[in-house]
Amino acid sequence: MTLSVTDIQALRRAYLFSGLDEAEFKAVAARATSVGLEAGQNLFFQDQPVTAFYWVAEGLIRLYRTSPQGDEKVIDLVGPGRFFAEAVLFMGGRYPVNALAQTPSRLIALDGPSFKAWLAEDANRCFRLLAGMSARMHKLVNEIDSLTLMKGTDRLLQYLLDHSDPDEQGRMVVDLEAPKQVIASRIGVKPETFSRLLHKLRDMGFVEILDNHLVIKDPEQLRQARID
């Protein structure tokens, strides 16, 4: 399915293409298609050859690995406005994780072989693309350093703040679209610990839990919260 004007405008603002000029971006957009997934539908599997990389237009994608014993570790939950599998396109050619639609989702898929061939035509394109990727990588490394030093409680607080958006009333709301055990795996705590911490935040008056979403009453207060 071809991209809508709204999709093209949103994709133009993405970090990966920020260094490209208009003609170059149009060439990239010509290699993109819209892909719909139902909740629970797999997009690709670990060790499968890379055919494309993706940008999330709507929904939530769970990236995970499965151990030989069948245990699942959530690597990331990718929501709207984010890429995934872009780096692996240049790193060995096989997906290192499984990707599954946690909710009904719509993605923009960029054809991998065609995109690489287009880059190979002009080295300057590669440098402009690398500028965007390097800036993003630097940010991620800083986030990893911070998370490594955080306790599980602090990782939860950071997750809630990072995934909150204002609703119609101006309240900061976190949509808990993924099951709690999935979010718990993402931030590296046990599901029962995740539930206990959420209820403690509620009891302390920092958040309000309403069905499948959570309202942060005061983001700055939550940022400074200390929970044992």
The structural domains of the chain, with segments of one domain joined by +, span: 5-148, 150-223
In total, the chain counts a number of residues equal to 228
pLDDT band at 176 (very low <50, low <70, confident <90, very high): confident
pLDDT at res. 103: 92
Confidence check: pLDDT of 45 > 90: yes
Q: Average pLDDT for residues 21-36, to the nearest whole number? A: 91
pTM: 0.70
Q: Average pLDDT for residues 131-139, to the nearest whole number? A: 62
Please name the residue that has the structure tokens 């590669």: 126
More confident residue, 140 or 31: 31
Q: Please list, in sequence order, all residues whose beta carbon lies within 8 angstroms of the beta carbon of residue 123, skipping any fewer than 6 positions away.
A: none
pLDDT band at 141 (very low <50, low <70, confident <90, very high): low
pLDDT band at 106 (very low <50, low <70, confident <90, very high): very high
Q: Which CATH architecture has domain 150-223?
A: Orthogonal Bundle (1.10)
According to CATH, the superfamily of the domain at 5-148 is Jelly Rolls (2.60.120.10)
pLDDT at res. 159: 84
- The three-class DSSP label of residue 5 is helix
In the chain, the largest separation of any two C-alpha atoms, in whole Å, equals: 59
Tell me the percentage of the chain whose pLDDT exceeds 90. Answer: 27
Q: Dihedral angle at the C-alpha atoms of 76, 105, 135, 216, nearest 10 degrees? A: -70
pLDDT band at 58 (very low <50, low <70, confident <90, very high): very high
